[in-house]
Amino acid sequence: MRGSRINYYICNFKAVSHGSNINYMGNGIRHVAVIMDGNGRWATSRGLERIEGHYRGVEAVRSTINAALEAGVEYLTLYAFSKENWGREKDEVDGLMELFCKTISLEVPSLTEKGVKVRFLCDRAGLSREVLDSLDYCESKTAHCGRMTLLVALNYSARDEIVSAARAIASEVSAGGMSLSDIDGKSFSDRLYTASVPDPDLIIRTSGEQRLSNFLLWQAAYSEFYFSSVLWPDFDEECFREALAEFGRRKRRFGKTE
């Protein structure tokens, strides 16, 4: 029964028009990151089980990918599952893992056709073999794509990511392959999950919450933030465009004057 619901939400998407071909690159935006929040509240407000909100959230993911492609965004990062999320009810976590695997399997052909390369930002420890196989399959099948890179943060913790990078540097210094004078911002960034990816220009969070929740703490140093009151399942292409339009009205100084 659960599999039928997943298939419904993945396959029953609204058609997206690409005729407008809006491009926001003139605003200097290359990388947009999204904290997808509000699935559970969307479901409970309708008298549904929380997992139903996650099924519906798949449609918002698809809409956001399409809107990002339309806008010419080069990198799109989606916060799918944090390490803290393991503390939720087992039925919800199991349902999410099943949803990840099913969605990946069904979406790879569409992502490949659209030129979307997928990378996962994750601590692989603790993930089941089924989930790991799904991640590997998706990354390998989309590795040749070059229109946009989709980064999915799964079993992710920004604090743990930073600690992991620090340990990697300490190990290299201890082994004599790196000196203390070699340690700088770039060498540290190169050891994060996001190595080679530009920092996010814009971070969007849905559902009205206004916090990072252990997401891209190092990379968000100069990101612009956009907080939407819309719950994630209702976040559509127009919502994404509104966030980009707001970004275009901002003046980014990076600590400098006008």
C-alpha separations of 58 from 172, 184, 189 in Å: 41, 39, 30
- Establish if 188 belongs to a structural domain: no
Give how many domains the chain has, as a whole number: 1
Contact indicator for 62, 240 with CB cutoff of 8 Å: no
State the pLDDT at residue 16.
Answer: 38
Q: CB under 8 Å, gap of 24 or more: what pairs does 211-214 form?
A: 212/35, 212/158, 213/35, 213/79, 213/82, 213/84, 214/82, 214/83, 214/84, 214/156, 214/157, 214/158, 214/159
State the pLDDT at residue 2.
Answer: 52
Rounded to whole angstroms, the Cα distance separating 98 from 106 reads 12
Token output for 257: 């004057």
Strands (E), the chain: 31-35, 75-82, 116-122, 148-156, 202-205, 224-227
Please report the DSSP string for 12-49 in residue order: -PPP---TT----GGGT--EEEEE---HHHHHHTTT--
State the pLDDT at residue 254.
Answer: 77
- Establish if 80 belongs to a structural domain: yes
CATH of the domain at 127: 3.40.1180.10
- Establish if 166 belongs to a structural domain: no
Annotation says 66 is catalytic = no
State the pLDDT at residue 5.
Answer: 55
C-alpha separations of 83 from 43, 90, 115, 121 in Å: 22, 14, 29, 12
Rounded to whole angstroms, the Cα distance separating 163 from 157 reads 10
Name the one residue in this structure whose structure tokens are 């743990």.
Answer: 160
- Establish if 16 belongs to a structural domain: no
- Establish if 193 belongs to a structural domain: no
List the domain range (segments joined by +) for residue 210: 2-10+24-157+198-245
Cα dihedral 162, 164, 165, 169 sign: positive
State the pLDDT at residue 27.
Answer: 63
C-alpha separations of 239 from 76, 231, 234 in Å: 15, 11, 9
Token output for 53: 């909100």
The CA angle 53-202-210, to the nearest 5 degrees, is 55
- Establish if 172 belongs to a structural domain: no
State the pLDDT at residue 17.
Answer: 38
Annotation says 37 is catalytic = yes
Give buried/exposed letters for 214-236 (b at 16+ CB in 10 A, else e).
Answer: bbbebbbeebbbbbbebbbbbbb
Q: What is the pLDDT along the chain (258 residues), one digit of tens a residue?
A: 455 454 444 444 433 334 344 545 546 899 999 999 999 999 999 999 999 999 999 999 999 999 999 999 999 999 999 999 999 999 999 999 999 999 999 999 999 999 999 999 999 998 999 999 999 999 999 999 999 999 999 999 999 999 999 999 999 999 999 999 999 999 999 999 999 999 999 999 999 999 999 999 999 999 999 999 999 999 999 999 999 999 999 888 777 776
- Establish if 143 belongs to a structural domain: yes
- Establish if 168 belongs to a structural domain: no
What does pTM read for this prediction? 0.89
> Which is the catalytic residue, given 27, 85, 123, 160?
85
